[in-house]
Structure 1
Amino acid sequence: MDLYYEVNGSGHPVVLMTGGADVRNWSFVAPHLAKHYKVVAFDGRGTGKSPSPLEDVNHVEDLLSLLDHLEINQATLIGHSMGGQIATEFALDYPERVSELVLLAPGLSGFSYSKEFEESMKTIHEAAPNIDKMVKLLLSDSSYRVVTASPHRDLMAQMLRYHMNRMFEWPAIEMVWPQPPAIERLGELTTKTLLIIGKEDSLDNHRVADYFQQHSDAQVVEIPGADHTVNLTHPEKLYRKITGFMKE
């Protein structure tokens, strides 16, 4: 297994997944969970301390390889942002390996994001290779309005800056996702699912949450005063929501 991972605690396995960040994304949540569970946090391929991809990346199969390597037959998956997209795809393809699915402001393959979002991403990409400008533009988005006013702004900026530096190391590769896209298969999601979203997150992310609520049996919970980074700004409340759901 060439992916970087950390294991803390003991008991039922809980796997923490993220997208454009690294294991530091769970700095305030993992210690709470590790009091009662075996917590696995890892860096996806090309992020954090994991190696850069040499070919097209299949995050779902990478997760399967990690679980097999750690001899974890079944786990609770907790995925944030793109990590939530990966977790959803995994639960659809390998439902027998997932006991509970917890999604924090997840992405969703096949979802049509707004013109405003697409234009914002285009502006950020056009700022390359000026990473400081890219980070500044990204943090100016409304979905980060809470964390940028919190003591965790520097940590968020450090993770984004490091991730973007890593991305410049990548060769020309693509992300490989299962087909058909998850948006067409949400009705097949049989895993017990909790979706958590900050009330101050973007309209697009709220639209994704609404789609889950309408097309799956997911329980959707909104956290007041939180944005896209509820894991950084509201870790204790997040911990209580997750453990309460797992004990139901």
Structure 2
Amino acid sequence: MDLHYEITGNGHPVVLIHSGGTDLRLWTCLVPLLSKNYKVIAFDGRGAGKSPSPLKHVNYVEDVRALMDYLELNQATIIGHSMGGQIATDFALTYPERVSKLVLIAPSLTGFPYSKEFEQYHSKVSEVVPDIDKMVEVALHSPTYQVVIDSPHKDLIVQMLTHHFGRMLNWPADFCMTWPQPKAYEKLGELNPETLFMIGKKDLADNLRVADCFRKISTVHFVEIQDADHLLPLTHSKDLYQEINAFMED
């Protein structure tokens, strides 16, 4: 196994999948809480943190499967944030027998038609490449970070974004992500595992629209958190823990 991972605690296994632009440090506040009752596996996705850089094609769903196989986990609760939630959703659709329960924190969604504003935001970051400091500055100028930048966790977000952009600039020019087909957006109704969906009320409009897609599924339990933006794992870890713990014990 070439992916960097850390295991904390004992009990039912819980696999944490971090968001794009971050690494396993995203779970700094949540792991100590979850590890009181569960065996928590946090890992750096390919190209993030201490894991190796991608070569060309990257299949993040298969990376999760490979990690679980390596750790001999037949089944686990899967928790994903943002792009990590996108990976978790695709994993649950592809390998439902490997997922005991699914927790999605403000996830993105494969195949979802994102808005022009969302695309323009990412284009603005690309326009200042390769100046990493400016890339971070532009990235932080988004509703995604409106709460966290005024919290004690701002420095950690800056550190993770700086690290991410630095590594990303050295990825192969033909780098691409491979996702299961058909896309999750087209077959979301097939999602079987019992699912907890959490999102901040101050999140991006596109992420709130993604939430509306999941609202059509009867097995999904929704929690909206006041005064929270996209970075819930850092700013509202105690709220997340209480909801996750209750969901797991149910």
TM-score (norm 1): 0.98
Give the C-alpha shift of residue 220 in structure 1. Answer: 1.5
Alignment of 1:114-193 (within 5 A): 114-171=115-172, 172-193=174-195
1:163-214 superposed Cα distances (whole Å, 9 cap, x missing partner): 1111112112110000010001111001000110011111110000111112
Gaps of 5+ in 1: none
The answer to whether structure 1 residue 26 and structure 2 residue 40 are counterparts is no
Q: Could you tell me which residue of structure 2 aligns to residue 227 of structure 1?
A: 229
| Counterparts in 2 of 1:109 and 1:216: CA distance versus 1, 3 Å | farther
Give the total of aligned pairs: 248
The answer to whether structure 1 residue 94 and structure 2 residue 95 are counterparts is yes
Q: Could you tell me which residue of structure 2 aligns to residue 207 of structure 1?
A: 209
CA RMSD between the two structures: 0.8
- For residues 149 and 46 of structure 1, the distance between their equivalents in structure 2, rounded to whole angstroms, comes to 28
Give the C-alpha shift of residue 14 in structure 1. Answer: 0.2
The one-letter code sitting in structure 2 at the alignment partner of 1:15 is V
Q: Could you tell me which residue of structure 2 aligns to residue 218 of structure 1?
A: 220
Give the C-alpha shift of residue 26 in structure 1. Answer: 0.2
Q: Could you tell me which residue of structure 2 aligns to residue 77 of structure 1?
A: 78
The one-letter code sitting in structure 1 at the alignment partner of 2:230 is H
The answer to whether structure 1 residue 109 and structure 2 residue 129 are counterparts is no
Secondary structure at the aligned position of 1:7 is classed as strand
1:60-106 superposed Cα distances (whole Å, 9 cap, x missing partner): 11110000000001000000010000000000000000000000110
- For residues 74 and 12 of structure 1, the distance between their equivalents in structure 2, rounded to whole angstroms, comes to 9
Q: Could you tell me which residue of structure 2 aligns to residue 40 of structure 1?
A: 41
1:47-67 superposed Cα distances (whole Å, 9 cap, x missing partner): 100001113000011110000
- For residues 209 and 217 of structure 2, the distance between their equivalents in structure 1, rounded to whole angstroms, comes to 12
Q: Could you tell me which residue of structure 1 aligns to residue 198 of structure 2?
A: 196
Secondary structure at the aligned position of 1:15 is classed as strand
Give the C-alpha shift of residue 247 in structure 1. Answer: 1.1
- For residues 13 and 241 of structure 1, the distance between their equivalents in structure 2, rounded to whole angstroms, comes to 17
User: Which has the larger displacement, 214-223 or 36-45?
Assistant: 214-223
The one-letter code sitting in structure 2 at the alignment partner of 1:113 is Y
1:136-174 superposed Cα distances (whole Å, 9 cap, x missing partner): 111110121000111111111110110111111211211
Tell me, yes or no, if the aligned pair for 1:187 and 1:216 is still in contact at 8 Å. Answer: no
